[in-house]
Chain A
Amino acid sequence: MEVKASPGIKYEGLGAGVVLYDTHPSLHSPMKTPPDPLDPLLDRWSETPEPSPRLAANIWQQIATHEQAGPISWRQSIEAWFGRPMFAVGFITACALLGLFVAELRVSQLQRERNAQLARSYLLLIDPLFNAPPTDRRS
């Protein structure tokens, strides 16, 4: 875009960086903006340090090490899982629940056996012929 200069006014720069002078730049100072915190960082960044002479060798060494390690073994995988606190707590809880479940199965089984035994004892108690051979019972 072409800007027409009015008499006595000069334009410097482009777009937002335009500084206006009504007569001459030497008579007026430019508008001051607050200091940007990025500036010192950018200044420091511009001073790029020289890379280490062993950089390439180190990179190749790391690549070689990773290739030698290969895929993670099952043991490492298990250790990684057990290393997580949530998994460890869940594992212990699951073990306790499994213990309770097995105990409940055993108690149920024992209860059934005991019931059968008690029923038999009761019948023996009330029926003197309960243990007699069938031929004796019918005579």
Chain B
Amino acid sequence: MKRTFLTLVLGLAAGVGAHLAYYRQHAPAATDTLEGQLVWMKSELHLTEPQFARIKELHQASHPRLQAMATQVAVMQSEFAEFEKNRRTSDRVDFLEFARFVESRRDLNQACLDSTKQLVLASAEVMNPEQRARYLQLVASAEPLVGALLN
């Protein structure tokens, strides 16, 4: 009885120990920084060191511009929400303001698409065909990019 119990306890300890050791060693670390994402891309696309250095350079160069655009998009979204709220409550539409808003949003969207397309194409140019196909498959999930890249 004692021997059976001891064997069961040892088995349980061996299983749990092996599980924890393996999991701690192989679990991927969480990362939200640009650096972390580029490292992930490097391993995902099997980039060489020169490829990685060039792609990192491209991303770092375009990062501030893209971030500023993302902020502008967010501001414009909140402005549009405010505009819609006013239209519903006051039942009045300032068509001139709305036309200006639509125009500026269209310009911003086009600028965003151009910037993203430029970055994606520049990065893809650094890669070999296999890496490029995988990379484009990855970015293709961003809907407007698909059309932009195919044109």
Q: Is B98 an interface residue (CB 8 A)?
A: no
Shortest C-beta distance, B1 to chain A (Å), equals 6
Q: Is B126 an interface residue (CB 8 A)?
A: no
Name the residue of chain B whose CB is nearest to the CB of A132.
Answer: B73
Q: Which residue among A107, A110, A126, A136 has the maximum number of chain B CB atoms within 10 Å of its CB?
A: A126
Determine which of B8, B31, B106, B141 lies in contact with A118 in the assembled complex, contact meaning CB atoms within 8 Å: B31
Q: Is A9 an interface residue (CB 8 A)?
A: no
- Interface residue total, chain A, C-beta cutoff 8 A: 43
What residues on A are CB-neighbors of B18 within 8 Å? 96-97, 99-100, 103
Docked-complex contact B63 and A134, CB < 8 angstroms: no
Docked-complex contact A137 and B116, CB < 8 angstroms: no
Docked-complex contact A125 and B14, CB < 8 angstroms: no
Binary interface encoding of chain A residues 103-139 relative to chain B, with 1 for a CB under 8 A from any of its CBs, else 0: 1101100110011001101111111111011101111
Question: At the interface, is chain B mostly helix, strand, loop or mixed?
Answer: helix
Q: Is B44 an interface residue (CB 8 A)?
A: yes
Docked-complex contact A92 and B14, CB < 8 angstroms: yes
What residues on A are CB-neighbors of B105 within 8 Å? 136, 139
Question: At the interface, is chain A mostly helix, strand, loop or mixed?
Answer: helix
Complex: how many Å from CA A103 to CA B11?
A: 16
Docked-complex contact B63 and A125, CB < 8 angstroms: yes
Q: A129-B113, A137-B144 are in contact. List 4 more A-B contacts (CB 8 A).
A: A92-B11, A123-B139, A126-B116, A132-B77
A-B residue pairs, 10 tightest by C-beta: A99-B15, A99-B19, A95-B11, A128-B70, A95-B15, A99-B18, A103-B22, A82-B4, A96-B14, A128-B69
- B residues near A (Cβ < 8 Å) are 1, 3-4, 7-8, 10-12, 14-20, 22-23, 26-28, 30-32, 34, 36-37, 40-41, 44, 59, 62-63, 66-67, 69-70, 72-73, 76-77, 80, 102, 105-106, 109, 112-113, 115-116, 119-120, 138-139, 141-145
